[in-house]
């Protein structure tokens, strides 16, 4: 309960608004506004009432002072006057005998009733961030009506809402007033206002905000001072729309979290109505200022109205199951009623937008701008789009000499977009010169070594594909009537020649010595389709590795397969490390194809699908079903920051028809289809947890006596070892958090918002898998901890492991070519082709690699995508305001942060350990992708909270 403080009172005026004052209502409301000149005046209320029973006229007046802290006192003075009158004749509809009696009337008048009411003065300080697009973007210029609004002190209308209902009336308790612009500091504008709050107002619960300007503003926070229990801080960090765009007020709750059943009665309606607003009605095209979260299928990747060759199938549904994306409501294409029109503006709920630091430095918009500025220039500079590199020295020159770019209409545009890569010469010309990645700096020929090829399956960019071989012979599960014999061409004789010390392949399998990269069944159905695309080719592939006594992997064999097509039978061949010149070069070409497969799988499945794509439904459901007051919402919120916008921008310029992925990766126009096939066949929520993923791939088994409860199949597995440290730290933090708010499992079961959230994720967000039996139940605290830990891991550790090493490992593209443009020389070669291969095998490899334009485009994009923004928020680095509100949660977070700092030291120690050959050695780049913290830029380390790039 509020207690009085010694403040002077302020006079009261009444402002009548003929528009909704109470959130959601439509009636006119009187609004008390307190002005500064009347600070010393007493507040006097006069009430006049008529008591019909005895014809008493009642007049009541009361006065009070803000500084009053004494009990309310009432003084009454009553005067009674008796009068005798003789009335005139009264006519009546009923006959009566006329009489003229004397009538006496008694009138009692209550002349004075003084009631002393008590108030406290509460000061509100509102911080608004200066933004490029908001109403503050042109301060100092003529802004018409908005300037007048500021001058009148009516920039923001605030309404304080008590957490308690009025016990007498059952109504919400509110106090309102306008905030005026007070001062400006670097990057921010401060608004202030003072409220006269009744002593019995109760605990502060929320603030309703109406933006009186014609443009949106970014509201950072609201601080309320003068309350008896201390300051109240509301962390807003949200765009507030103009009332002219939407008349509904925005509600901002205090930082205190409540389960639905614990919601104070004064906030119940606001909590429910805010969720209704966020869900929308599923109708119409979304407007940029809206905050509506809804679902749709991926039907906006193509542009059939522009060109029918850019038509793409819908992802999401029976044919191509896929997670759902955010609904935009754009109209359908004229040439394809199933596809949605693309536009220059891509809707995401307004609060999902990037901060301006990120927006202007590292984002897919930068990628988009780079492509529109860089690609035409490269085409001009290189003349031939299909031109490859004639020599390896030409590839090296990208890092030493660079590419002279023609003049741009906009001077310095690439220098702004790619400050690391574009050098402005004294002549004023732009030169695109790439920074050598750390792998190349340490060992120029790192990409050539088989040991590095194998090591990167454990400590490289895609550590999610390697599996333990558990059955022999290797067989395809595809229909042999369509794709040919299912048996692998890798025979036991081939393997037994290479596995020294093991007499049989069965013994090697029993001892868990054989591992595989298997891209056979996923890619084989697309071989004939992809080969119809000019400038690319495809195979199904299998690559076998052997675990040595040192704990490293040695590649044994690569199998490339072409299905029956064009009247030709199935073709398959096994390539091995060789001791003769022809065999060596064939092996190198086979490796180039496998690396292109691994690059495609990494980008389309390990990266895009398993982090970006599957997370979007979690974000939508969280905003639709969990109130911002919900503790689980506040736990997940930092892990969902910016993801929807980066996904929308990816649909705009990365994964769209003709975009970066399709034009530079082997599957071409079928890239996202393959991603959908992988989702349908491989993705399971219960196996996205790191321990479950390792067990599924045979890379670990459960062992209660081992660290993390798992025994790794390969002890020196850098990704798994560091990842399990991160997983355990996250799980302990989530456990501490969940157990605080859910004292027992019954609270989980009766939490309506939580249950609706999980149901919607399963049945709507991932609707194509809603009937799968593997979805975890949500009945216990342990269930909730497992679900949340998985989501947090995917958005932080998993994403960091597959994203921030992109330039380190693929910046020198021969190490990880994204596309293989030619078939291996042994597949139906012409005499001329074979002759040229024998004469100049290096040329065959260079022709197989990406073209100059493809390579430089991908290198530029990977540089951007590997960058940490200056405003990056790393996991465990910054405490959310709502976490700091609860002492138990605050302490748990500090322990979490401490564990992450310890992890940094452990990883450094491991990288310095010469016994760990997969992370230490001559020319070997240490494995740092799961080190929690980083500086800005391309560092090859750092785990942000969320998927923000």
DSSP secondary structure of 524-563: GGGHHHHTTSTT----EEEEEEEE-TTS-EEEEEEEEEE-
Other CB atoms within 10 Å distance of the CB of residue 189? 21
- 22: helix, coil or strand? coil
Query: What does the alpha-carbon distance between residue 906 and residue 902 come to, in Å, rounded to a whole number?
Result: 6
DSSP secondary structure of 45-88: EEEEEEETTTTEEEEEEEEE-TT--SPP-EEEEEEEEEEEE---
- Residue 339 CA, chain-centre distance (Å), reads 25
Active-site position among 7, 241, 612, 766: 612
Let me know if 740 is a catalytic residue.
Answer: no
Q: Say if residues 127 and 224 touch (Cβ distance below 8 Å).
A: no
Q: Say if residues 885 and 825 touch (Cβ distance below 8 Å).
A: no
Q: Please, which residues bridge with residue 113 across strands?
A: 76
Active-site position among 23, 708, 766, 799: 799
Active-site position among 721, 803, 815, 867: 803
Task: Supply the DSSP symbol for 295.
Answer: E
Query: What does the alpha-carbon distance between residue 185 and residue 833 come to, in Å, rounded to a whole number?
Result: 70
Q: Say if residues 829 and 821 touch (Cβ distance below 8 Å).
A: no
Max intra-chain CA distance, the chain: 141
Identify the helix (H) or strand (E) that includes residue 752. helix 752-760
Let me know if 918 is a catalytic residue.
Answer: no
Query: What does the alpha-carbon distance between residue 489 and residue 571 come to, in Å, rounded to a whole number?
Result: 10
Q: Please, which residues bridge with residue 85 across strands?
A: 103
Q: Say if residues 728 and 792 touch (Cβ distance below 8 Å).
A: no
For residue 377, give Cα distances in angstroms to 374, 385, 388, 745, 813: 5, 12, 17, 61, 20
- 866: helix, coil or strand? coil
Active-site position among 43, 607, 630, 868: 607
Query: What does the alpha-carbon distance between residue 557 and residue 490 come to, in Å, rounded to a whole number?
Result: 7
Quick one: CA dihedral 324, 329, 335, 338, positive or negative? Answer: positive
For residue 6, give Cα distances in angstroms to 64, 119, 788, 890: 13, 10, 47, 33
Can you read off the two tokens belonging to residue 86?
């003789």
Query: What does the alpha-carbon distance between residue 687 and residue 795 come to, in Å, rounded to a whole number?
Result: 15
Q: Say if residues 709 and 689 touch (Cβ distance below 8 Å).
A: no
Count H helices, E strands: the chain? Answer: 31, 26
Identify the helix (H) or strand (E) that includes residue 126. strand 119-129
Q: Say if residues 548 and 458 touch (Cβ distance below 8 Å).
A: no
3-state secondary structure 333-345: CCCCCCCECCCCC
Query: What does the alpha-carbon distance between residue 760 and residue 496 come to, in Å, rounded to a whole number?
Result: 51
Let me know if 607 is a catalytic residue.
Answer: yes
Let me know if 214 is a catalytic residue.
Answer: no
Question: Taking the C-alpha atoms of 880, 883, 884 and 887 in order, what is their torsion angle to the nearest 10 degrees?
Answer: -160
Of 542, 544, 513, 918, the C-alpha closest to 713 is 513
Residue that is written with structure tokens 């048996």 in the block: 487
DSSP secondary structure of 686-725: GG-SHHHHHHHTTSEEE-TTSGGGEEESSS--HHHHHHHH
Let me know if 799 is a catalytic residue.
Answer: yes
> What is the rounded radius of gyration, in angstroms, for the C-alpha atoms of the chain?
35
Query: What does the alpha-carbon distance between residue 712 and residue 718 come to, in Å, rounded to a whole number?
Result: 11
Give the strand pairing for 295-296 and 325-326: antiparallel
Query: What does the alpha-carbon distance between residue 200 and residue 164 come to, in Å, rounded to a whole number?
Result: 10
Query: Among all residues, which ones are annotated catalytic?
Result: 607, 612, 799, 803, 949
């Amino acid at each position: 309960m509020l207690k009085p403080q010694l403040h002077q009172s302020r006079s009261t005026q009444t402002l009548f608004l003929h528009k909704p004052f109470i959130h959601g209502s439509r009636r006119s409301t009187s609004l008390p506004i307190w002005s500064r000149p009347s600070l010393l005046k007493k507040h006097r209320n006069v009430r006049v009432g008529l008591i019909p029973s005895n014809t008493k006229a009642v007049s009541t007046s009361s006065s009070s002072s803000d500084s009053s802290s004494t009990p309310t006192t009432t003084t009454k003075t009553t005067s009674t006057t008796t009068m005798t009158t003789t009335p005139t004749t009264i006519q009546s509809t009923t006959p009566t005998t006329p009489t003229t009696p004397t009538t006496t009337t008694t009138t009692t008048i209550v002349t004075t009733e003084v009631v002393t009411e008590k108030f406290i003065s509460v000061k509100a300080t509102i911080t608004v961030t200066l933004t490029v697009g908001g109403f503050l973007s042109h301060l100092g210029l003529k802004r018409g009506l908005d300037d007048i609004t500021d001058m009148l002190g009516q920039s923001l209308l605030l309404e304080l809402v008590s957490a308690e209902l009025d016990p007498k009336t059952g109504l919400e308790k509110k106090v309102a007033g306008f905030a005026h612009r007070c001062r400006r500091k670097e990057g921010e504008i401060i608004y202030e206002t003072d409220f006269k709050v009744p002593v019995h107002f109760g605990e502060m619960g929320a603030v309703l905000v109406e933006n009186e300007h014609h443009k949106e503003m970014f509201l950072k926070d609201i601080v309320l001072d003068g309350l008896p229990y201390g300051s109240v801080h509301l962390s807003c960090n949200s765009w507030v729309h103009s009332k002219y765009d939407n008349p509904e007020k925005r509600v901002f709750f205090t930082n205190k979290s409540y389960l639905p059943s614990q919601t104070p009665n004064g906030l119940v309606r606001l909590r429910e109505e805010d969720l209704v607003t966020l869900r929308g009605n599923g109708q119409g095209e979304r407007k940029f200022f809206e905050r509506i979260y809804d679902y749709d299928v991926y039907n906006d990747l193509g542009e059939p109205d522009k060109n029918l060759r850019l038509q793409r199938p819908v992802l999401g549904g029976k044919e191509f199951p896929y997670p759902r994306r955010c609904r935009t409501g754009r109209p359908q294409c004229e040439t394809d009623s199933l596809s949605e029109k693309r536009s220059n503006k891509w809707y995401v709920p307004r609060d999902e937008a990037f901060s301006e630091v990120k927006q202007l430095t590292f984002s897919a918009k930068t990628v988009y701008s780079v492509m529109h500025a860089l690609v035409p220039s490269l085409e001009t500079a290189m003349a031939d789009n299909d031109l490859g590199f004639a020599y390896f020295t030409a590839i090296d020159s990208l890092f030493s000499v660079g590419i002279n770019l023609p003049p741009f209409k906009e001077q310095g545009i690439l220098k702004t977009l790619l400050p690391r890569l574009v050098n402005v010469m004294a002549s004023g010309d732009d030169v695109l010169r790439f920074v050598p990645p750390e792998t190349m700096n340490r060992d120029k020929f790192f990409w050539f070594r088989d040991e590095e090829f194998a090591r990167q399956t454990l400590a490289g960019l895609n550590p999610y594909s390697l599996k333990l071989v558990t059955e022999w012979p290797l067989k395809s599960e595809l229909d042999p009537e369509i794709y040919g014999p299912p048996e692998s061409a890798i025979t036991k004789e081939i393997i037994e020649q290479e596995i020294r010390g093991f007499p049989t392949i069965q013994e090697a399998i029993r001892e868990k010595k054989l591992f595989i990269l298997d891209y056979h069944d996923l890619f084989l159905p697309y071989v004939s389709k992809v080969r119809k695309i000019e400038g690319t080719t495809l195979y199904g592939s299998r690559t076998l590795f052997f675990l040595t006594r040192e704990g490293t992997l040695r590649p044994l064999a690569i199998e490339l397969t072409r299905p029956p097509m064009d009247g030709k039978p199935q073709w398959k061949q096994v390539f091995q490390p060789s001791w003769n010149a022809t065999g060596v070069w064939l092996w190198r070409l086979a490796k180039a194809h496998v690396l292109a497969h691994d690059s495609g799988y990494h980008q389309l499945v390990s990266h895009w699908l398993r982090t970006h794509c599957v997370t979007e439904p979690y974000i939508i459901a969280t905003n639709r079903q969990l109130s911002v007051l919900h503790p689980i919402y506040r736990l997940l919120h930092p892990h969902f920051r910016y993801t929807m916008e980066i996904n929308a921008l990816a649909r705009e310029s990365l994964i769209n028809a003709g975009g970066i992925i399709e034009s530079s990766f082997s599957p071409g126009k079928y890239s996202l289809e393959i991603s959908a096939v992988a989702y349908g066949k491989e993705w399971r929520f219960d196996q996205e947890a790191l321990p479950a993923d390792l067990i599924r791939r045979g890379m670990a088994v459960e062992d209660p006596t081992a660290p993390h409860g798992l025994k790794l199949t390969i002890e020196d597995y850098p990704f798994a070892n560091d990842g399990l440290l991160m997983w355990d730290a996250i799980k302990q933090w989530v456990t501490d958090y969940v157990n605080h708010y859910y004292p027992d499992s019954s609270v989980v079961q009766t939490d309506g918002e939580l249950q609706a959230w999980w149901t919607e994720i399963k049945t709507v967000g991932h609707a194509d898998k809603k009937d799968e039996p593997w979805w975890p139940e949500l009945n216990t605290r342990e269930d909730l901890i497992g679900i949340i830990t998985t989501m947090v891991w995917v958005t932080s550790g998993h994403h960091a492991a597959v994203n921030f090493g992109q330039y380190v490992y693929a910046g020198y593209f021969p190490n990880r070519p994204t596309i293989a443009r030619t078939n291996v020389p042994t597949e139906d070669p012409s005499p001329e082709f074979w002759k040229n291969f024998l004469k100049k095998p290096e040329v065959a490899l260079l022709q197989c690699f990406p073209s100059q334009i493809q390579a430089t485009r991908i290198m530029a994009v990977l540089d951007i995508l590997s960058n940490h923004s200056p405003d990056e928020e790393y996991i465990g680095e910054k405490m959310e305001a709502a976490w700091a509100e609860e002492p138990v949660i605050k302490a748990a977070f500090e322990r979490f942060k401490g564990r992450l700092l310890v992890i940094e030291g452990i990883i450094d120690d491991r990288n310095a350990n010469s016994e760990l050959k997969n992370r230490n050695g001559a020319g070997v780049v240490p494995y740092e992708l799961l080190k929690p913290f980083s500086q800005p830029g391309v560092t090859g380390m750092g785990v942000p909270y969320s998927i923000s790039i």
